[in-house]
Structure 1
Amino acid sequence: MTTTGSTSGPSPKNIPNETFRPFKPKSPPAWLGPSLLMAKIIAQSAECAPFPHVQGAFGTIVVVLETIEKVKNNRDDLEELCGDVIEIMKILQGQVSSHGTTAAVKFKSVCEEFESVLQDVLKELQKLQESPRGLCGHVKRMVKSRSTADKISEYQRRVQALCLNLKLMAAVDTNFQVHKIDRTLTALAPNLHVPQVAQSINTCPLPSRIFQGRQTILAKMHQYFAEDLMKQHIYVLYGLGGAGKTQIALRFIMDSATKFSDIFLIDTSTAETIDAGLKSIANRKQVGDTAQDALDWLCSNKNGWLLFFDNADDPQIDLHNFLPPCIHGNILITSRNPQLRGYGAYSLVSDMEETDAVELLLSSAAPLEVTLENRDTAFDIVKVLCYLPLAIVQAGAYILRSGSLKNYLTLYNSNQEQLLKERPTQSHGNYAWTVYTTWQLSFNQLSQPAAMLLQLCSLLHHEGISESMFKDASLYKPQTSGPSMEELEMPHQFLSQFLHNGIWDSLQFCNVTNEIQAYSLINFDATRNLFSIHPLVHNWSRNTLTHVGLYHSCMASIVGMSIDQIPEEDIELASISLLPHIYPLLRGDHLVTPDFRAHYGRVLYYGGKYTEASKLLADVAEKQRKLNGDDHPQTLLALENLALTFHSLGQFNEAAELQSKVLAKRQRDLGEGHQDTVLAMNNLALTYRWLGRYKEAEELQILTLEKQRKIKSVDHSTTLHAMHDLALISRSRGKFRVAEELQVLILEKRTAKFGVDHPSTLQAMGHLARTYHYLGRSKEAEKFQIVVLEKRRKVLGENHPDSLRALKHLALTYDNLSEFEKAAPLQIMAIEMLSKILGENHPDTLLSQNSLAQIYCGVGQLQDALKLQSMVLDKWRSISGPDDPNTLHAVSNLAVIYQNLGQLQEAEKLQSLLFEKRNEVLGRDHPDTLHTMYNLATCYQQSGQLHKAMELQSVTLEEQSKVIGEKHPETLRTMNSLASIFWDLGQLKEAEELQMKRKLTTNTPGEF
């Protein structure tokens, strides 16, 4: 093999032509000279401006470029690195031609960090080896290294962002002429692209360094301003002070600065500042010196300017007078006044998304270590701050100063007002006010009626505030048994401001609420016709009260006066909306008269809060007794209301005792025919029903209905209520058809009067469904119960006791239909919620557990059924006694479980005892007694006592056919059982005849 020279290694001809480049020294590239000169000029110019850090950064660039210029070999390998450095330098140069004095401080940190990177680059250059290959490898390693590449990329990104930010700063006169630098650079490096700056920019601060989130609003704004609308673009950001409207606007402007030829910021807080801002535009554009000159110039200029009206909060300023009357241009408005939405597109700026709020808090509190524990604590903090940006930033500043994230919540709970008033010494933006002071400024602009309305509303719940509450209160007439005129003087004076000739003036109320809405201190939901207040504003407004007790008494009286006007048939529906407002008014030691406290107790009762109602009404009864004596009508009314809560809590003996006393005193003082006496009779009859005293209950309720028909009309709500209660008692006595007839009539009348969604209508529908259940018409019951459950959840809420009763009744119907997979989860849910709301020992909870034990038995989970039913029986015995109907029902269920387990002796013993008690208390013809007879007969059959079984089951069938009818499922079941007994006895003819009769009755084949 021959060689062409002594050099070892592969020959050049073996290397691909496209990769072989012989080393040749190169002259400096064309871009290097102008770039070096540009860096020197900027560095020298910066000496005359308030930017020493710019001089430092560009001085380092000069050194770097001079070093590169001295490198004689393989300079192409440096172009990738130098390209990045020069690009950043060009961007920085753009800032020199557009900076304002406020940019100096904000620009300092990036320049210093950029200088630090350049120093690292310089060190690498100084280490370059003389060898071309060494040079190439070292530079490439340095350029490609992750740390250097990442730094250059990061600083390039940050400087480009600052380029957009700094365009918003006003150009200032300095000791050097920037435009001369621009011309010099253009002459030296005509091919260099220098970022263009908007031609004219008013002083405009940057968005906060810790700006977070709001991407949905920003995306909507970008899309809107990008559309060709063939008209002026106007976008309004409105919302509560401190919600971050201006920050969103500044962020949008920063991100979109290159899209606008000019950006003008106008302080819109007063008409004077608007006029001054427009004059500034006219002066800057040298088109005149008046606001009209500026508007004329804007109308004539179609280059895509942006006019930013910030803080257009004063509702007395007609902003239309300051808008350029043309069909081009872009206008951005921030305001607390929602009425400005009418100018164009808009976004409500309210609370932040939770994750964004957490990031804002952690950024505000930096350099706090971001651990999982700290992040969880941050979630808790932003939640109590209601995700309001300004409150979060203030909290972050305090945490930064104190160094403790964990202690903030504890401090906030006891020092909320102080913390939300405190202005941070180190801020992240230019906002001058704290959370509380920004709202105080708005509050100071309100008229006296508006300010008082806001403060009174701060004593209610922050949501669900209605005009009707105040309107109804204005209709209240002082009563001899109620508060005196002196006690109601302040409420009357306040409400009189909304009366015209003694009639409620909704327009005046609307004017006042609009005044408050103009500052976003209150919000209005037109769909629900309700007002709400931001929770933090709500707390702040309450803290503005100097006479808390006086205002509290006033608002408590207004609510009491309002409740007094609610008709009895509407009180349950009204209680759902009133309930949240009752709790704050009952807190503390502020005066609420006994009469109005009784009204509050009614709201609690109908709202399903029986325990709270019981405590309040017991207190009312005691106060009335001390004030008026034992026999006073107000004392008796308080005792009657208290008895109703005892009844709803399942304390039937206590309820009966009170109701008997009230009835006796009313019969003595008012007579048998008085409305109050009749109502007392009605209440006592219902309690007798729950105590199992069915006969007494029926006699008393029949008398009640007769008297009610005489006092009121047949269709009056109180008459229908008495009829409804008689139907319940009739059903408890086994008179299912009587109950059905009454309930069908009640449902028709209530539907016609109140509509299908009214609680009274749903009550009638639910009880009719239960009667269908007892009549064996479970499919009809199911249809009604599904409707009742859905509507009660919608009207009353999922956790209202009536909703939970509907849930357990539907589950019971599914159980009767043997649809156990539907029944079990519903009943379990009902038990969990009833236990939580009414208690584990409440009758409704225990009845649901009874039903669940039956379901377990139906699906063969006999041990679970036995355990649950035994527990329920023990509770019934201890709470209600051994002879209570519910106790006996639990005994019946337990006996059936024993029977299914094959423990026939235990089952027979229980069933025999149960038959004796039910026969004695209810009578032989009661459906519950007949049910027990059936179970006892099947027990006899299973244990081989066939003749006893036949005799008892024959009697059962005969009685059931009379009482509940031959087609009732329980009658048919008894028929099938008796045929089975005949079969076991060998009496085949009797068995076949009975089965044929059953088949003809139901078209159903025999089952045995």
Structure 2
Amino acid sequence: MAEQRSGGGAAADHGGRAAPEHVLVVFPGYHRPWATWINQRLEAHGVRATLQRWDPPRETPLVDSLGDLLLARGTVLLVLDDWFFQLGPRPTGEWNEVLRGFVLERAERFAAVNLTNRTLLPATAVLEPVSLWGVGEEEAEARLLNRLGIEPRRQAGRRLTPGSLVRYPETPPEIWGEVPRRNPRFTGRDDLLTELQERLMDAERGKAACTLLGMSGIGKTQIAAEYAHRFSPDYDVVWWVSSDDRNVQRDRFGELAAVLRLPSGNEPGERIRAVREALRRGDPHARWLVVFDGWDDTDGAGVMLPQGPGHVLVTSRNRAWAEHTDILDVPGFDRAESTAYLMRRAPHITAPEADEVAAEFGDVPLPLVQAAAWLGESGMEVADYLRMVRDGRLSTVDERVGDGFPNASLTSWSILINRLRRAQPQAIDVLSLCASFAPGRIPLGIVRAYPQAELPEDLRWMTTDLPAWNRALDTLVNYSVLSRESRGPVAGVETGPHQESVHMHRLVHDIVARLTDGEHRAAHRKAVRALLAEADPGNPMDSRHWPRYAELLPHLEPSGALASRNPRVQTAVLNCLRYCFRSAEFRAGIRLAERIREHWSAFMDPVSAEMQELTTQECYILRAFGRFREAYELDLALRARLDEAAARDELGSLRSAVSIASDLRFLGQYQESERIQREAFDEARRLLGDNEFLTLVAGHNLGVMLRMLGRYKEAYEHDVASLARSENALGARHSHTLSVSNAVAQDLRLLGNYREALARQENNVRFHAQVLGPQHLNTLYARAQLALCRRREGGFQQDLGAAFESLLDQMQQVHGREHYITLSSINNYANYLREHGDLAHARDLIQEAEAGYRALVGPAHPVATGVFANSALVLQASGQRADALAILEGALAGLTSSLGPDHPWVLGCALNTTAARNFNGRVGDAAELSRETLRRARHVLGGEHPLTLSCQVALATDLRGLRENEEAGKLEEDALLTLTRTLGAQHPHTLSARQRNRPYWDFEANLG
């Protein structure tokens, strides 16, 4: 019968014990979540508690270590499981002796909770441990309080809310993303884990990011996984991102968007942006941890690293992470940690023997794990084992592994491989096959997913004997050679055997590749190539297949696929390259294209269809990445080979001409680009007809070039015809059709038809988002054009600032700050800020855009010159009129030289130069230039174009300054009437002219 307790005074339980005023909670670091929860519950009931992590050194007698705990007042509560009694480690007999003697004599000072259903040491009964294993939070709390004789407070019945600091350890975080299984043999590292937690917890909001830095095999991944498990109650989201390969990393991080139920499409950049924004806001979860495991390349850090209220943990070998995160160096084990681990895995060895083995392997965790596994499984005496290691009798390779590992580690692996070869030869088959993939995540499931792939005779059992397959994998996992991974279902991606993967550490991969290399290696690599070809979805334009391509991509070169002469493998290789372009993985695409070219050049005709397609895709990627000159040189080299070929390749020459024209356009050679593009378009129509895709592409490119030349009316008429052909051949929602429709709207805006352009562009953006996703490159470009339409139309001024800023942020997230698309957004936002009075911010942005374009295309490029002219407008608005005039005069001369005097860009720059001359007292010079500019604008753009009318208002201002008021009045009146009729009485241009504000023109940077 339960004892009834009053609310005051000390309560009693076991033997009438009084409730303690203080409890010392003693726990192994492994069970910190439990200790933290116990501490919180005790303090909630008015009992002061202190946490004491406990791992007594082996050299200190156990009686002394336990006696030290009794120096604290109150009750010592031991948090027990079978692991607790391996701390030290110590012989079982020592523990039983101390429990039966020292602890029994002081039983009133000790209590315990039991967190396991495994059998504890018999003498543990003296502690009367209460079991918390497998029970709910409310029952666990009741048992804990009852064991300590603590009277529950009434308000303590309230359960923890989602925002509480400590979650019940048996309650996992709401989102738990592919964190490796907890290693039950994880050893030591308590101080390092505690320091890691303190650094993350103490960091400023948005800066809680730490990199675990160390060589391969030092245990970085194990520490990160243990941190995720040990401190999981502190988080609502824990997401693990394997980062050995950038493509896999981006797709894995982007998968969090679906789990968080964020509105996003399938394009990686779009999902990443959505995830980073949600993490930054802390919505829907503020307590999050993202672990990037094996991230050695810091190039994408600015685009990928999340910020916000949560924490980021990176594991890497690259010290350059110090520029992005806090750094925590991961050393080898302490010697005590090494020996403790060895003695736990191999209980038959003594402390001095464990010390000798640890010294042999330099306290590096990975080889120690293998040594411990061997010694524990085989029962071999340490002297015999070390003799085999030191004399290298079983080693097949004598050279160093690298990363600072001693030679002995390779020999240790040799022992393990030879043992597996005798006891489980099928495990060696799996290992040898894995060695033909790249390290990191290996999509090993494709072996069973595509049984039609031709496997060599020694591997055919893998597709027919599932039990043997599972046994082989289990063996390798048990020996810490592989770890299992599985990809959960992803929206829009089919699930199946190809989702099954394993992970092989790069050091393990290197060693295994050396030790299993033999007569079957060539056959195994051929098998992997065949599997990769079978796994190719066949359509890299479909974003639903991008996660699959991201998994296949790292394994192309290790398998020998890049050097394959098999047409099907070559097709898969080219599809992976196309995936890099379509998914905006430009860096990976450039590296892949270079390696393909290096291999194919050794045996393939330089003008073969495959080499031509390689050049086409490589140039696509180079141009998209902003490396225009390299694309041009590559195209010229191919064109020279085509010209030298014995037989004329009309189609190849046509493709080459289309690509060269695009190169020239980006390089600013507009007249030559237009000539080649027009010839290519005519040739495509003759050779292929109007509706073939290459003809449609050539036609669209010609329209772009006409627009860049300032021939807006001709571009519009051409683009309208191109749009009709594209809609007829491809459909209204094809991505190419959307691009042409976007061009038509741009033509309309540049012609001054702002309302019509806006209406069309609003539809364009909606269709782009539906078809390609809101963060696709083409969608972002369409949104940028929409913002310009709204600015020119005049009715959206209050909302435009936020729109320009948001668009710039998203451009940066997807493409980086120095990409030419982002530079265009920086320029356009700077123009808006200058117009609305934020001169300091505008100056910073325009200087950034100018420097970016100068670095990208050179200072003489028309676009770079145009942005330079924009900087003069900021100076002029700031009162630096002389400096502004000097810049504008130089820009006008440069643009006139490269584009000719009648180009709209030249006319706009001339308009600004007239204002600068006027402001600097050179009114006569201003009027002379204004009159000439107006004459040319009427000829090129017509009398009703907004730029022409701006030139007319400017001339009236200059004439008024010369006291030629009659002509000035007529010009001004005519301009106001035309502006009112074409744009409306309330349009900003009309209002500005009526108020006699000097008009200006700002340059919209666009490389085409």
TM-score after normalising by structure 2: 0.51
Matched, 1:930 2:907: yes
**Which residue type is aligned with residue 997 of structure 1?**
T
**1:553 matched residue in structure 2:** 525
Partner of 1:117: 106
Opposite residue 707 of structure 2, the aligned amino acid is R
* Aligned counterparts, 1:840-919, within 5 A: 840=818, 843-844=820-821, 846-851=823-828, 853-862=830-839, 865-866=842-843, 869=846, 873=850, 880-919=857-896
State the alpha-carbon separation in 1 of the partners of residues 940 and 224 from structure 2: 65
Q: How does 1:772-811 map to 2 (within 5 A)?
A: 774-775=750-751, 777=754, 779-780=758-759, 783=762
In the aligned structure 1, how far is the partner of 2:118 from the partner of 2:534? 59
Shift of 1:935: 1.7
Unaligned runs of 5+ in 2: 1-13, 17-73, 78-90, 148-171, 200-209, 231-331, 343-357, 378-412, 478-482, 986-990, 997-1008
Q: Tell me the amino acid that sits aligned with residue 400 of structure 1.
A: E
Supply the distance in 2 between the matched residues of 1:367 and 1:685 (Cα, whole angstroms): 62
Partner SS, residue 385 of structure 1? helix
Question: How far does residue 366 in structure 1 lie from its aligned partner after superposition?
Answer: 8.6
CA distance in 2, matches of 1:369, 1:645: 44
Residues 585, 961 of structure 1: alpha-carbon distance in 2 compared, 3 angstrom cutoff: same
Provide the rounded CA distance (Å) in 2 between the counterparts of 1:857 and 1:725.
33
Amino acid at match of 2:666: W
2:978 is equivalent to residue 994 of structure 1: no
Provide the rounded CA distance (Å) in 1 between the counterparts of 2:724 and 2:423. Answer: 56
Percent identity between matched residues is: 16
Choose the corresponding residue for 1:385, options 222, 225, 228.
Answer: 222
* 1:378 CA drift (Å): 11
Instruction: Look up the equivalent residue of 2:660 and give its one-letter code.
Output: L
Q: Which has the higher contact order (CA 8 A, sep 6+)?
A: 2
Residue 337 of structure 2 corresponds to 400
Scaled by the length of structure 1, what TM-score is found? 0.51
Deviation, 1:792, is 9.5
Deviation at 1:774, TM superposition (A): 3.7
Shift of 1:384: 0.7
**Residue 525 of structure 1 corresponds to which residue in structure 2?**
488
**8 Å Cα contact 1:856-1:862 kept in structure 2:** yes
Aligned residues of 1:713 and 1:719 also touching (Cα < 8 A): yes
How far the C-alpha of 1:893 sits from its partner, in A, is 1.5
Q: Which has the higher helix share?
A: 1
Of 433, 441, 460, the match for 1:462: 441
Kindly tell me: are residues 950 and 593 of structure 1, through their superposed partners in 2, closer, same or farther at Cα, counting changes over 3 Å?
Answer: same
| Alignment correspondent of 1:422 | 372
State whether structure 2 residue 804 is matched by structure 1 residue 823: yes
CA positional deviation for 1:678 = 0.9
Matches within 5 A, 1:707-746: 707-712=683-688, 714-740=690-716
Q: In 2, Cα distance between the equivalents of 1:349 and 1:586?
A: 35
- Aligned to 1:422, the other structure's residue is in SS state helix
Contact 1:575 1:604 in 2 (8 A): no
Counterpart residue number, 2:166: none
Mapped to 1, the partners of 2:837 and 2:104 lie a distance apart of: 80
1:704 aligns with 2:704: no
Equivalent-residue separation in structure 2 for 1:392 and 1:424 (angstroms): 27
Report the Cα offset of residue 679 of structure 1.
0.5
Pairing of 1:360-371 with structure 2 (within 5 A): 364-365=187-188
Q: Is the 8 A contact 1:736 1:771 kept in 2?
A: yes
Q: What is the alpha-carbon distance in structure 2 between the residues aligned to residue 510 and residue 820 of structure 1?
A: 63
Q: Classify 1:876/1:667 alpha carbon distance in 2 versus 1 (closer, same or farther; 3 Å).
A: same
User: Following the alignment from structure 2 to structure 1, what is the Cα–Cα distance between the partners of residues 974 and 102?
Assistant: 104
What one-letter code is carried by the residue in structure 2 that aligns with 1:557? R
Query: C-alpha displacement at 1:766, in angstroms?
Result: 5.8
Computing the radius of gyration over CA atoms, which structure comes out larger, 1 or 2?
1
Structure 1 contact 983–991 (Cα < 8 Å) conserved: no
User: 1:686: how far off?
Assistant: 0.7
Q: 1:372 aligns with which of 195, 204, 208?
A: 195
Work out whether residues 677 and 698 of structure 2, in 8 Å CA contact, stay in contact via their aligned partners in 1.
yes
Q: Distance in 2 between matches of 1:861 and 1:802?
A: 29
* Cα distance in 2 between the residues matched to 1:773 and 1:976: 21
Partner AA of 1:582 in structure 2 = L
Q: Which residue of 1 aligns with 2:541?
A: 570
Q: How many Å apart are 1:728 and its aligned residue? A: 1.7
- In structure 2, give the amino acid aligned to 1:942: F
Find the counterpart in structure 1 of residue 554 from structure 2: 583
Moved more, 826-835 or 752-761: 752-761
Mark the CA change 1:422 to 1:755 in structure 2 (over 3 Å): closer, same or farther: farther
Alignment of 1:599-678 (within 5 A): 602-611=578-587, 613-614=589-590, 616-618=592-594, 620-621=596-597, 624-625=600-601, 627=603, 643-667=619-643, 669=645, 674-678=650-654
Q: 1:887 to 1:404 in 2, by over 3 A?
A: farther
Distance 1:603 1:413 in 2: 43
Query: 1:164-203 residue pairs with structure 2 within 5 A?
Result: none
The residue identity in structure 2 corresponding to 1:578 is: Y
Q: Is the 8 A contact 1:831 1:845 kept in 2?
A: yes
CA contact (8 A) 1:666 1:677 kept: yes
TM-aligned CA distance change 1:517 to 1:373, over 3 Å: closer
**What's the Cα RMSD here?**
6.8
Deviations 1:692-733 (A, max 9, x none): 222322232223223333444544333332232222212212
Partner of residue 684, structure 1? 660
Mapped to 2, the partners of 1:647 and 1:674 lie a distance apart of: 24
The gaps in structure 1 that reach 5 residues or longer are: 1-30, 34-84, 89-101, 119-151, 173-194, 198-205, 212-217, 227-250, 259-345, 428-434, 476-488, 500-507
Match of 1:290 in 2: none
One-letter amino acid of the counterpart of residue 866, structure 2: H
Contact 2:720 2:744 in 1 (8 A): yes
AA in 1 matched with 2:983:
T
Q: Which residue of 2 aligns with 1:1003?
A: 984
C-alpha separation between the residues in 2 aligned to 1:391 and 1:871? 40
1:848-892 Cα shifts (integer Å, max 9, x gaps)? 554454355334454665566567656755764554222321332
Letter in 2 for 1:115: L
Q: How many angstroms does 1:998 deviate by?
A: 1.7
Distance in 1 (CA, whole Å) between partners of 2:970 and 2:468 is 88
Report if aligned partners of 1:456, 1:555 keep a CA contact under 8 Å in 2. no
Provide Cα deviations, 1:229-284, integer angstroms capped at 9, x if missing partner. xxxxxxxxxxxxxxxxxxxxxx99x99xx9xxxxxxxxxxxxxxxxxxxxxxxxxx
Q: 1:541 to 1:894 in 2, by over 3 A?
A: closer
The answer on whether the counterparts of 2:691 and 2:725 sit within 8 Å (CA) in structure 1 is: yes
When residues 751 and 962 of structure 1 are mapped into structure 2, their CA distance, relative to the original with a 3 A threshold, is same
Counterpart CA distance in 2 for 1:385 and 1:753 is: 55
Task: Tell me the alpha carbon deviations over residues 305-361 of structure 1, each in whole angstroms, 9 at most, x when there is no partner.
Answer: xxxxxxxxxxxxxxxxxxxxxxxxxxxxxxxxxxxxxxxxx999988979x979x89
**2: CA distance, partners of 1:470 / 1:670:** 46
8 Å Cα contact 1:808-1:830 kept in structure 2:
no
Amino acid at match of 2:526: C
Q: Aligned to 1:570, what secondary structure does the other structure show?
A: coil
CA contact (8 A) 2:437 2:528 kept: no
Partner Cα distance (1:466, 1:759) in 2: 34
How far is the alpha carbon of 1:685 from its aligned partner? 0.9
Please list the CA deviations of residues 130-161 of structure 1 after superposition, one character each: whole Å capped at 9, or x if unmatched. xxxxxxxxxxxxxxxxxxxxxx4x74x52xx4
The one-letter code sitting in structure 1 at the alignment partner of 2:441 is H
SS at match of 1:462: strand
Q: 1:366 to 1:931 in 2, by over 3 A?
A: closer
5 Å-filtered alignment, 1:959-974, equals 960=937, 969-971=946-948, 973-974=950-951
Q: Aligned AA for 2:369?
A: L
Contact residue 385 and residue 536 of structure 1 kept, 8 A: no
